Amino acid sequence: MKSSQGTEDKTTTLTFDSNDWISMLTFNGSVFMPSVLTLIGIPGLESVQCWIGIPFCFMYLIAVIGNSLILLIIKYETSLHKPMYIFLAMLGATDLALSTCILPKMLGIFWFHFSKISFEACLLQMWLIHSFQGIESGVLLAMALDRYVAICHPLRHAIVFSQQLLTHIGVGVMLRAAILIAPCIVLIKCRLKLFRTTVISHSYCEHLAIVKLASEDIRINKIYGLFVAFSILGFDIIFITLSYVQIFITVFQLPQKEARFKAFNTCVTHICVFLQFYVLAFFSFFTHRFGFHIPPYVHILLSNLYLLVPPFLNPIVYGVKTKQIRDHVLKIILFKKHFHQ
């Protein structure tokens, strides 16, 4: 009798614990594989998001117009069908795609409160954003290597950067990013089943922001996210730095002052673009993971600027600093003025 009663008590306790656990999940609002998620925009700044959307929209318009103009100039001007400008066209196309993946939905949240997004669409946006980030980093590395060969081994440049190599580089940077980011989606879909909330405290679907919604162990997802970040951005920044160290050594060894100035001037534009991309990238990356005392809206604003500033600034920087691009832009403007007169 005693034994039976003890067993019954244990069963009752077990049942109570189980029911208590289930009720706790219900209380916490946990959802099994949600079909719809909610993006809140910039947490803490919801009341002024409509105003924040105005400069963001302006940046997007400049990014679309500027990058489209550069793509058209490079496509139709045969004298610009050289590795340096082909890489610039790749960068422009990537910037267009990256900003278009983010801004329309973000402005929908800020201005029209279109905050709902399906789980699959959110994962697709995440994959596209991080893939285009990886492609942009790969193109910047290719541009640095192009400058390295052009300055350090000028006689071999035409042989090394053949049309075939340019195609391989283009395909390679796209495949590298797409393949490395794809397991992030698989790990979320296969490992994470229970979500404590369906509200994402972000203005777009970012990997870590989605992963943090889960009630389960997310260490593997975090580790793989770090691996991807360092294997793409970390790898690229190391080789870009090494390329420019070698470039500067070669430039300062040139005997003539004019030659040194000309060689250095061709690199200034690229250096500006590299710095704005990687400084924002690493600042956003480290504050998002280790800046626990920084307000959430600072994290989100930095993440947004990291993705929006390069597409906005790149065409301006290249338009101002690259003579061939600048001349063709001026020709288009003058032609339009003459046509209207």
pLDDT (tens, 9 = 90+) of the chain, 341 residues, equals 444 444 444 333 433 344 434 333 443 456 777 889 999 999 888 889 999 999 999 999 999 999 999 999 999 888 888 998 999 999 999 999 999 999 999 999 999 989 999 999 999 999 999 999 999 999 999 999 999 998 888 889 989 999 999 999 999 999 999 999 999 999 999 888 888 889 998 999 999 889 989 988 899 999 999 899 889 988 999 999 999 999 888 888 877 777 777 777 777 778 888 888 888 777 777 776 666 677 888 888 888 888 889 999 888 888 777 777 877 777 776 665 555 55
Joined together, the tokens standing for residue 1 give: 């009798």
Determine, yes or no, domain membership for 8.
no
- What pTM did the predictor assign? 0.86
Query: What CA–CA distance (Å, rounded) separates 149 from 264?
Result: 14
> Is the residue at 122 inside a domain?
yes
> Is residue 115 a part of any domain in this protein?
yes
Q: Where do we find the tokens 């329309």?
A: 104
Classify residue 205 by its DSSP letter.
-
Q: Residue 82: which domain range?
A: 31-332
Please provide residue 123's backbone torsions phi and psi, each rounded to the nearest 5 degrees.
-65, -40
Gap between the Cα atoms of 312 and 324, Å rounded: 20
Residue 315 sits in a domain whose CATH number is: 1.20.1070.10
Residue 177 lies in a domain: yes
Is 142 inside a domain boundary? Answer: yes
For residue 338, is it within any domain? no
CA distance linking residue 176 with residue 171, whole number of Å: 9
113 conformational bin, left if phi > 0, alpha if psi -120 to 50, beta if neither: left
Find, among 319, 276, 309, the residue nearest to 67 by Cα. Answer: 319
Q: Which two tokens stand for residue 202?
A: 């972000």
- Is residue 3 assigned to a domain? no
Which amino acid is present at 276?
Q
Number of domains in the chain: 1
Alpha-carbon distance values, 341 to 332, 333, 335, 337 (Å): 14, 13, 10, 6
